[in-house]
Homo-oligomer: A and B are copies of this chain.
Amino acid sequence: MERGESTVQGEGAGRGGVVLLSGGIDSTTVLAQARAKGYRVFALTVIYGQRHRAEVEAAKRVAAALGVAEHRVVEVALGSFGGSALTDRRLTVPEGEGPVRSDRIPPTYVPARNTVLLALALAWAEVLGVFDLFIGANAVDFSGYPDCRPEFLQAFEALANVATKAGVEGGRFRVHAPLLFWSKGEIIRHGVALGVDYGLTVSCYQADEEGLACGRCDACRLRAAGFAAAGVPDPTRYRGISPSLKES
């Protein structure tokens, strides 16, 4: 929060917003920030056929812990289209040792994913009568994802305002992507300052049913590097490794 800004007097006071909540670090931080700014939060988790269903359980824990007005889980079989290592078990999730490459669109890109997620958030927002959509898109870690760029977010905001009855009748939808240019370390430091318990979250692309992480995929490596950069103890529970901090 900005200096002098309080929870009650924040920019979100008296406003409601739909927050896309995957259960990972970024969307959890966005939710915590929206709450800190005073927004009444409607959290939307979309199961799009991703392998990491453990994230959905994480989303439920986060939504409960951060005091949302309502949490909805909606399924859409985006994975049935194929084309992504995140939704198609025949493709391989990249693993490695060094820094995650960010100079090409990785195989974990899900075609039109953020378009579908924001479209669903817009649908719910219009029913709720709220105009603020929040997404944890990040252009630093995933510079290769076309739908994590400001051009995309601006284009969706423009679309939202002509696509809806609420927009046509004078409402003004806004797409908030507050973490767009933050490093993972900055995101984690911000969240910790807001009191977020990242032990509730799951990032691993191939987490098991209990939410235990593989420690090797791009998401795990970005996460671990983020905690290191933030200088914050990493609460992640890995498979085959004794829990580093605690059992949740």
Contact = CB atoms under 8 A, between A and B. Distances in A.
Contact of A164 (B126, B147, B162, B164): B147
Given A72-B80, A159-B159, A167-B146, A123 B112 contact: yes
A116 B117 CA distance: 9
Interface centre among A72, A76, A114, A163 (most CB of B within 10 A): A163
Interface string A150-180: 0110011011101111111000000000000
A149 interface: yes
Interface bracket on A: 35 or more
Contacts of A115: 119, 122-123, 159-160, 163-164
Main secondary structure, interface of A, reads helix
A149 B80 CA distance: 30
Given A112-B122, A116-B116, A146-B163, 8 more contacts: A74-B76, A74-B77, A111-B126, A112-B120, A116-B123, A146-B165, A155-B159, A155-B163
